[in-house]
Structure 1
Amino acid sequence: MYSKKLARLAFGVLTEYTVSCPLTRSVSSRVNAARSLCSWTLCLHHRQKNQLSEGFSRRLIRLNVRTVSQTTLDPAEVRKFQAMASKWWDLQGDFAALHSMNDLRVPFIRDNLLNMHGIRQLGKPLAGLRILDVGCGGGVLSEPLGRLGTDVLGIDPVEDSVRTAELHSSYDPDLRERVRYQACTLEELAEEEAEGFHAVVASEVVEHLADLDAFASCCQQVLKPGGSLFITTINKTNLSYVFGIVAAEQLLRIVPSGTHDWEKFISPEDLERLLESFGFYVEAIRGMMYNPLTGAWSWQQNTAINYALHAIKCKEEPQPGQVWAESENLDKPGRATNYS
């Protein structure tokens, strides 16, 4: 009873904050393409200045060439999820909130891909598309994506989680040929599959990674030009610490204690800047909120705690000789320059 009263109080405070602080935004493709160009231009200028004296060839100064020496894998995070590998399909257990999140994230992925590719087949609207589910765990998201007609590859460094995912999907004949799993890291897969996927999904994953630069670089490598990157994660705010860690882990026990590290959370602004530097432009960012009383997720007007992001890999890279001229044109009449 105490937990329910605490949850009701916490949810009421959060709802009041949500109404008073609208932060949701949709990002137009044109504005973000312009922003991405400016971001790329500054990075290029910095690299040219530092690399010229070292005799680097101009061919190395390309958007998709960025030295990443780290791995996405955090051994401590692997140990956490290794201990929970058998619990993925307990609908009332540690991953109950992730199952409930499918009510938002599956339509978010589906609708954005339909806007880009159109309906492929009645009953299987995303047939013919390949999706990579990074950090797939037990396949909680991979399976509903497979039922939309996509060919899904779920990857996870925790082999026991992958075995759980394989066993569960084997019971559904509709998924046996459409969804497959592989125990590996994203960087290991990037060495094998270049530009092989129409979409990459990383849901509740980036806050567990060791190196976000390595993550963004690998996503850029495995996506086809014009491919989509879908991320759901937790903002780095005081509210996210109170509700995402203190309340969710320590008081309400929605997720096991120690699941999250607030220092690894990232704001949508920082995530957008990171992705732009690797050749993406952000199409949309939407706030999300979990109601512990009903066990349901809903879209919200702010991104103070959880948010979903859709980014697109640029189809063409600006040519080095044209970048400065194109950036100057952004200030001419008729071009969007207000990014607020």
Structure 2
Amino acid sequence: MYSGKIGHLMLGICSRKTTGVCGVAQNLAGRSGLSWTAVCKQRTLWQRKSACPELQQQHVPTYLTSARSASNTTVDPNELKRFQSLANKWWDEQGEFGALHAMNDLRVPFIRDNLLNAHRRSRQVGKPLAGLRILDVGCGGGLLSEPLGRLGADVLGIDPVTDSISTARLHLSHDPDLCERVCYRDCTLEELSEEAEAEQSAGGFDAIVASEVVEHLLNLETFAFSCSQVLKPGGSLFITTINKTNLSYALAIVVAEQLLRIVPTGTHDWEKFVSPVELESLLESYGFSVQSVQGTLYNPLSGSWSWTDSTSITYALHAVKQREEPLLDLGGDSGPQPDHRAHSAATHN
């Protein structure tokens, strides 16, 4: 019954622009005895209640501070406990991670096609990503690592939840051929970055994937900094996540958690959601150039994902680490250099 309700909601969303999406959510809230105004007020009260006293003062964007600030870890202990309790359920396609299994139909081609456009060279039949090294951050049980490995890439999946890595390794062991291209480590991204820095081997990966991860991290600045450390110049960063809008709050928290109870209460923290514009600004401050941002949509009725023009709920982002600037010729013209961080926000609908 609940999946039917949410499915009809999503079907309505698919056929509307952003303003139409808001209208559908408003109608659902109204039928549930909760007005759209009440939803927005509830979000505001929740936001104020959870905010620290210091944040009541004038707000300074966190990405303007150093990645080595008060919190230099990406791991939230509460998130760690939550995923620890779900570690043995990663490969249950009908369970809590069913939507992530379905998302492979969207995110794997998104990663593959962008990498093929960036690396134009001879390809092995059936293994178009052969020769590329990919880091899967927050790999969980390996739901995305394995498909990328089957495309020929050498994949390292990392996750701070030890039991999730154990699940990933156990599932991988059933495919001996894949074991040659995919491996897992129970560590954090910042630990990997520090190792690379100590070994002076920064920039070892052709691509980094962080799918449905950044909305669970404690510190996005550390995440962006660490990505820039372990990614090759010209390498790609792929992110899928949830936008920070009234609509995403209504659907991900009010509808999914509070009204329909199809997602366990506390799964999402709206404060950790990030908009495409904010994420782009953060990444560009750490040397990335955002190439594309595309809205995504999940339909629980059909159990499938699709692309959409609106990024108001969830979205996929592709960014590229800028190549190092050539040294200036001190004897020649040292006029103004182009700003490689400039990028239009017109793609953010």
Q: Is the 8 A contact 1:21 1:302 kept in 2?
A: no
- Equivalent in the alignment of 1:215: 223
Matched positions, count: 291
- Aligned pairs (5 A) from 1:239-318: 239-317=247-325
Q: Is the 8 A contact 1:68 1:217 kept in 2?
A: no
- Equivalent in the alignment of 1:123: 126
Deviates most, 249-258 or 297-306: 249-258
Q: Is the 8 A contact 1:186 1:215 kept in 2?
A: yes
- Equivalent in the alignment of 1:31: none
Q: Is the 8 A contact 2:93 2:101 kept in 1?
A: yes
Instruction: Structure 1 unaligned segments of length 5 or more: list them.
Output: 23-65, 331-335
Q: Secondary structure at the match of 1:192?
A: helix
TM-aligned CA distance change 1:338 to 1:324, over 3 Å: farther
Taking structure 2 as the reference length, what is the TM-score of the superposition? 0.78
- Equivalent in the alignment of 1:134: 137
1:6 is displaced (CA, Å) by 2.2
Distance (whole Å) between structure 1 residues aligned to residue 106 and residue 335 of structure 2: 41
Q: 1:325 aligns with which of 336, 340, 348?
A: 336
- Equivalent in the alignment of 1:38: none
Q: Percent identical across equivalent pairs?
A: 63
Q: Is the 8 A contact 1:85 1:164 kept in 2?
A: yes
Distance (whole Å) between structure 2 residues aligned to residue 189 and residue 124 of structure 1: 27
1:173 is displaced (CA, Å) by 1.8
Q: 1:171 aligns with which of 174, 195, 198?
A: 174
Distance (whole Å) between structure 1 residues aligned to residue 261 and residue 334 of structure 2: 51
1:199 aligns with 2:207: yes
Distance (whole Å) between structure 2 residues aligned to residue 236 and residue 139 of structure 1: 27
Distance (whole Å) between structure 1 residues aligned to residue 334 and residue 78 of structure 2: 42
Residues 22-71 of structure 1: per-residue CA shift (max 9 Å, x gap): 9xxxxxxxxxxxxxxxxxxxxxxxxxxxxxxxxxxxxxxxxxxx652321
Q: Which amino acid aligns with 2:13?
A: L
Q: Is the 8 A contact 2:277 2:345 kept in 1?
A: no
TM-aligned CA distance change 1:337 to 1:186, over 3 Å: closer
1:19 is displaced (CA, Å) by 6.7
- Equivalent in the alignment of 2:162: 159
Distance (whole Å) between structure 2 residues aligned to residue 202 and residue 135 of structure 1: 7
Instruction: Let me know the Cα RMSD of the aligned residues.
Output: 2.5
Distance (whole Å) between structure 1 residues aligned to residue 20 and residue 322 of structure 2: 32
Q: Is the 8 A contact 1:97 1:254 kept in 2?
A: no
- Equivalent in the alignment of 1:26: none
1:232 aligns with 2:240: yes
1:242 is displaced (CA, Å) by 1.2
Distance (whole Å) between structure 2 residues aligned to residue 324 and residue 233 of structure 1: 40
Distance (whole Å) between structure 2 residues aligned to residue 154 and residue 19 of structure 1: 35
